[in-house]
Amino acid sequence: MRAVLVVNPQATSTTAAGRDVLAHALASELKLDVVETQYWGHAADTARAAVEDGVDLVIAHGGDGTVNEVVNGMFAAGEVGDRAMPTLGVVPGGSANVFARALGLPRDPVEATHRLLRAVAERSGRWVGLGRADDRWFTFNAGVGWDAEVVAEVERLRSTGRNVTPALYARTALACYFRMAREEPKLTLRIGDETQVGGLHSVFVSNTDPWTYLGSRPVRMSPETSFDTGLGVFALRNMRAYPVLRHVAEMLRGRAKPHGRNSIQRADVGHLRVTCTEPLRLQVDGDCLGERSEIEFLSVPEALRVAV
């Protein structure tokens, strides 16, 4: 079986020695090419070339951003649900690894590699649904508003040399909350053919559950959402401290419930549109894509086969 291992050498939990061990283990069972990414978009370029070259397996070793790039690169050259598309393999190497953990893969890279080799030997895999935000695919979440502001600020801090930790995310989320709580709502949401709803501060879109993790603790924003359903939607109508803290507490306890005028929650959504009174940041899978005035979100069932 021909395979390409796409490695992000800057990923949080990877080391040169560890990457060599993983590559050696994979090469013992696969006809393997290894590519270490050198620039933003390199993982996508490599995945696109692998699809065009007829490779059987594309393996992403890095964080969720690397996985997202690989998935988008694959679909730049292949079509949704095409049985000739390569299978995706994932070996976690980031700080959160939300997509891999949602698939039930081990967090330890060595264990995940052994699991991947067993899946290849047994031809074990599953088809997963994905989400799209305009022309960008996402594997586990996307959002406009609070979460996108947090992602953008964490990316800025990372660029200055700060280590990305759950504590940094928590502090950044709190700082962004206090700033946004003083602002007027700027978002309007339309779910499918429902009547649009305005006056929203944030819209969170899930392709699976948990939404993310704070260390080992899952944040469950859309418990009814999985890779086998449509998208989950959670929108905040206000940013007052009490309702926001209540929502956060429920998400950390493993459930998220709508509370009348405070929020909107839907499950198994096929399509939604978010419009902004002024351009706002959009994030997908933990990467900020810049500012948008309107975003179309779409659920795409059984889009990609993943080795598990």
Residue 200's nearest CA partner among 232, 238, 233 is 238
pLDDT in tens, 85-113: 999 999 999 888 999 999 999 999 999 99
pLDDT at 158: 87
Domains of the chain: 2-123 (3.40.50.10330), 138-303 (2.60.200.40)
| Stated length of the chain | 308
Assign 255 a pLDDT band (cuts: 50, 70, 90): low
Query: Using CA atoms, how far apart are residues 92 and 213, in angstroms rounded to an integer?
Result: 14
Is the pLDDT at 258 greater than 90? The verdict is no
- The chain-wide mean pLDDT, for the chain, equals 92
In terms of pTM, does the model score above 0.95?
A: no
Quote the tokens at residue 193.
Answer: 């053919």
- CA-CA distances (angstroms) from residue 79 to 58, 59, 72, 85, 246? 15, 18, 11, 8, 42
Phi then psi for residue 271, to 5 deg, are -155, 140
